[in-house]
With several copies, the nearest count.
Chain A
Amino acid sequence: PEKLAAFQARIDAGEKIEPKEWMPEGYRKTLIRQIGQHAHSEIVGQLPEGNWITRAPSLERKAILLAKVQDEAGHGLYLYCAAETLGVSRDELTEALLAGKMKYSSIFNYPTLTWADIGAVGWLVDGAAIMNQVPLQRTSFGPYSRAMIRICKEESFHQRQGFDIMRKMATGTKAQRHMAQDALNRFWYPSLMMFGPSDADSVHSAQSIRWKIKMNTNDELRQKFVDQTVPQAEYLGLTVPDPDLRWNADKGGYDFSEPDWDEFFEVLKGNGPCNTERLAARQKAWDDGAWVRDGLMAHAAKQHSAPVAAE
């Protein structure tokens, strides 16, 4: 308990906790879960975008999208490394994902059905992600904080590119405008879900906020996201699919409809449009790749033993 108080004092003073320093088991566990889940999201998040790389409508768009998924894989790498400093290996985390014991962001269980969805993913999904991540640059765990700083810089770039796709679509031909509006219709509520249900009644959240693992409540961030995004939709000439959306001058923000939380919990349980396929794709990559990983290890072992044998 004394240790605990000292630990909390350091956090309150804005100090960073480093991997080799003492930390409460709960802090470590919560971080592993949160960082691991974030890493998995980057990896699984490649799939809905990868679905359109081979159909990107220009060489420039193809290059931008390739650069983006490359960044995402890179983010995954930073985050797995951050998690590894807490004593869990990348393989362990991967196996937990494949066994269904760890989650990834539910948004990636929605399909990308037209090219405009690639715009919507950048604009809305990366937008919501940034909203979550910017405060986490100030999180108490050093490696996590440093990873978030690198990631946020790239993410905001991705968001601008996504918005640029939407702008082209929204001001394009009739078919393109249709695709843009349709993408907004499908991604709006799932994006709002990305902040999680209202944490009014969550004990976890309160502890995480005290530890500076979580910096804001879900509702604060969701409100901020809506306030930022609605004017952008207006600028694009697109309609947010919420008949009850309106400006509330008193609170200085928009009133908006809650997403369908039943759907959220269903998707979380595995019953989303693409859950099965996303996990199956990752499982296949893991299984098909086993011989490669084994082969590389076998080679490394030979290299290692060769000089010994020569002695």
Chain B
Amino acid sequence: MGAVVDLDAALFEGLCRLGDSTLVLGHRVSEWCGQAPVLEEDIALANVALDLIGQTQMWLGLAGEVEGRERTSDTLAYHRDVWDFRNLLLVERPNGDFGHTLMRQFLFDAWHQPMLAGLAQSRDTRVAEIAVKAGKEVAYHLERSADLVIRLGDGSGESHARMQAALDTLWPYTGEMMVPDATDAALAEAGIMPDLNGLRTTWDALVQDVLAEATLTIPESGFMHKGGKQGQHSEHLGHMLATMQFLPRAYPDATW
């Protein structure tokens, strides 16, 4: 983490972190297609995935523009391998049961929403514009996921146990979201992206409130995974990309 950071390079990184996270989470959520526990959730899950893919187009589109090497959002999505992906580890977690999918969504939304609120204040108007647009969608995502976490956490014995198991499993993947590295720091200093340390307070408060109402207990262990933002992922991402990228990789000359 050197002292001198090229701001455009940092912005490219920062945009990939946003766009890759929405892409990967959108992919995971879309894996539910036609398999949700109730029809309303089929609709909601497709809707969330759709929003996230739309946001991916905007973030990665801008990333390509900032980079200036003629890579489009599709090039970035379909023609990079795992080490170039900058998504958070949390979003590449496998779906598990509906409880895991929901808890993952909530823990992410609770970060995503204040993050976008911060980004809406960016000195880079391109960033701010995307954040405003995405922010409206994500406000709804958070409302839905928080509500469902409460209802299933404080639901039946089984639903409570499943939500607690999901929380225990996913908790160690949340730390990374709020620990800035040199890239985050440079972008925050330049007023382009919010200070991640600042997000922690908001996230903590929100998550504690909702989980308390859901009668769920935050795990005690302080251990946190890290590396996703820097391109060091779990074994799951490679399998996801093999699926996601099959057609553009197999038919590089085709347009669709």
Contacts and interface: CB of A to CB of B under 8 A. Distances in A.
A–B proximity contact (CB within 8 A): yes
Interface of A: 43-44, 46-51, 53-63, 66-67, 69-70, 73-74, 76-77, 80, 90, 111-115, 165, 168-169, 172-173, 175-176, 178-179, 182, 186, 266, 271, 273-274, 276-277, 281, 284-285, 288-300, 302
Contacts of A70: 43, 46-47, 50
B243 A172 contact: no
Interface in B24-66: 27, 30-31, 33-43, 46-47, 49-50, 53-54, 56-57, 60
Interface in B203-256: 221, 223, 225, 227, 232-235, 238, 242-244, 246-248, 251, 253-256
A154 to B, nearest CB: 13
Contacts of A111: 233-235
A72 to B, nearest CB: 9
Contacts of A289: 36-38, 98
Closest 4 CB pairs of A and B: A289-B37, A295-B159, A295-B155, A50-B33
Contact of B53 (A66, A69, A172): A66
Nearest to B242: A55
A67 B159 contact: no
Contact of A273 (B98, B159, B225, B256): B225
B137 interface: no
A299 B50 contact: no
B33 A168 contact: no
A274 B232 CA distance: 13
B144 interface: no
B47 A112 contact: no
A189 to B, nearest CB: 14
Given A76-B39, A173-B253, A299 B151 contact: yes
A115 B41 CA distance: 26
Contacts of B221: 271
Contacts of B124: none
Interface of B: 23, 27, 30-31, 33-43, 46-47, 49-50, 53-54, 56-57, 60, 73-74, 77-78, 81-83, 97-99, 150-152, 154-156, 158-160, 162, 169, 172, 221, 223, 225, 227, 232-235, 238, 242-244, 246-248, 251, 253-256
B256 A168 contact: yes
B79 to A, nearest CB: 11
A300 B159 CA distance: 13
Contact of A182 (B37, B83, B158, B234): B83
9 contacts: A53-B33, A54-B244, A165-B256, A271-B223, A273-B234, A284-B35, A292-B152, A295-B158, A296-B38
A177 to B, nearest CB: 10
Nearest to A294: B156
Nearest to A185: B232
Given A175-B251, A292-B98, A281 B53 contact: no
A7 B53 CA distance: 51
Given A57-B256, A291-B159, A296-B155, A266 B223 contact: yes
Contacts of A50: 30, 33-35
Contact of A67 (B50, B73, B156, B254): B50
Contacts of B74: 58-60
B36 A285 contact: yes
A302 B214 CA distance: 13
B201 to A, nearest CB: 25
A52 B97 CA distance: 21
A284 B37 CA distance: 9
Contacts of B155: 294-299
Nearest to A61: B256
A62 to B, nearest CB: 5
A66 B50 contact: yes
A46 B30 CA distance: 12
A73 B97 contact: no
A48 to B, nearest CB: 8
A175 B154 contact: no
B35 A281 contact: yes
